[in-house]
Structure 1
Amino acid sequence: MKGKKILFILSGSIACFKACEVVSALIKNGAEVQTCATKNALNFIGEATLEGLTHKKVYHEMFESGSYLKHIELNSWAELTLLCPATANIINKIAAGIADDFASTLLAANDYKKPFLIAPAMNVNLYLNPATAESIEKLKKRGVVFIGPETGLLACGVKAIGKMSEPAEILKAVKEVL
């Protein structure tokens, strides 16, 4: 993984704390990681955490000065895109081509020629929702690789499918794809 350029996008889930472990592991394995976070992701973890791990700015504002073409530049720069954790909201947005914030615009600009991995994390009802299931199938047909989700104890206290895969499993999947 040494020197590999990874675009790491976080969406708003309690699993963001585990995503930070993935970012850290990627960096420890020699990858260069650039993060982007949705507004909701930043409600779960702070920008300073991601900057501290990567030593890079966290992109999250579409119309911030100097960021107008960043969604294109970052896609050109990246060798692999990892969306972790991925909520039902962002999965459904990507599948529908909705680009209404920095993260979804960044993902809409993905050309699918480079590896694109998604690690879902959500409540079982959101995961089993027919719209989400259709979106996942649509994205798989575009070549997106899904890592999980797993069955386990969810944040709501229910044991069911929807738990984000463990950081070691996500790291393993990234290594396999690279």
Structure 2
Amino acid sequence: MARILVGTTGSVAAVRIPALCATLVAQGHEVRLVATEPSLYFFDPAELPTSTSLYRDADEWPRDRYARGDEVLHIELRRWADLLIVAPLDANSLAKFALGLSDNLLTCLFRAWDFEKPAILAPAMNTLMWRKPATARHLAQLWSDQTGRAAPSDWSLESAEGHFARQAPAIVLIPPQSKRLACGDVGIGAMAEVTCLAEAVRAWSERAISAS
């Protein structure tokens, strides 16, 4: 099947990463995981499928000093992968993606990503964080970077998914869901279910096979 690169960030929803990786492996995909350091607070790497390789920031430059010819890990991972899925995508990493900041392995990977290949983004954050104007602004910036146009006048958190699907399909936005959050608040912000993310991967895989 496909070579899938999963990126995960420091949202509580990272507790679902072992389940997501297991589901993708069960679908027949080869999976590698890039984890930010904050994300590792929320899951035990020992719970990952044995076939899933874990990469963290320290793996980018493992030697004391660069030697000519050393591999650049975020470039090697980009070359390897057929698809990138970032789940959960926390508010901080979304802002970095939108602004082009590249201060860890995952943000370097996203900055270097070849958008001839798709990237699935599944945000997760507190309701008030999600509804801040910055969130819509950062998503709009990603859309504009893909299309080369200013965001449409009807841009909103509610319309963003459709705008990506119609005009910037290299980025698949899977919005958060409403439920009781880990912090106790009730509202939108929880990461989409693992089954929803896996379905997005399955649908992409079927389209890729049909087009080949």
TM normalised by structure 1 equals 0.91
Residues 48-67 of structure 1 aligned to structure 2 (within 5 Å): 48-50=46-48, 52-61=49-58, 62-65=60-63
Q: Aligned-pair distance for 1:68?
A: 5.1
Report the secondary structure of 2:138's partner residue.
helix
Instruction: Tell me which residue corresponds to 1:174.
Output: 201
Match of 1:28 in 2: 26
- Could you say which structure has the larger radius of gyration? 2
Q: Is the 8 A contact 1:24 1:53 kept in 2?
A: no
RMSD of aligned alpha carbons: 1.7
**Which stretch shows the higher mean deviation, 144-153 or 81-90?**
144-153
* Secondary structure of 1:15 counterpart: helix
Between the aligned residues of both structures, percent identity stands at 33
Q: Distance in 2 between matches of 1:129 and 1:177?
A: 30
Decide whether the 8 Å contact of 2:30 with 2:52 is kept in 1.
Answer: no
1: CA distance, partners of 2:174 / 2:96 = 18
- 21-30 or 125-134, which deviates more: 125-134
SS of residue in 2 equivalent to 1:100: coil
Q: Could you tell me which amino acid in structure 2 is paired with residue 26 of structure 1? A: L
Alignment of 1:76-155 (within 5 A): 76-141=79-144, 142=146, 143=168, 144-155=171-182
Preserved CA contact (<8 Å) 1:47 1:58: no
The answer to whether the aligner puts 1:74 opposite 2:77 as a matched pair is yes
- Cα separation, 2, equivalents of 1:138 and 1:107: 14
The answer (yes or no) to whether the contact 1:8–1:33 under 8 Å persists in 2 is: yes
Aligned residue type for 2:43: I
One-letter amino acid of the counterpart of residue 93, structure 1: K
SS in 1 for 2:101: coil
1:15 match: 13
User: Matches of 1:73 and 1:135 in 2, distance apart?
Assistant: 27
Unaligned runs of 5+ in 1: none
1:14 Cα offset (Å): 1.1
Question: Within 2, Cα distance between the matches of 1:85 and 1:53?
Answer: 21
- Worse-matched range after superposition: 125-134 or 135-144: 135-144
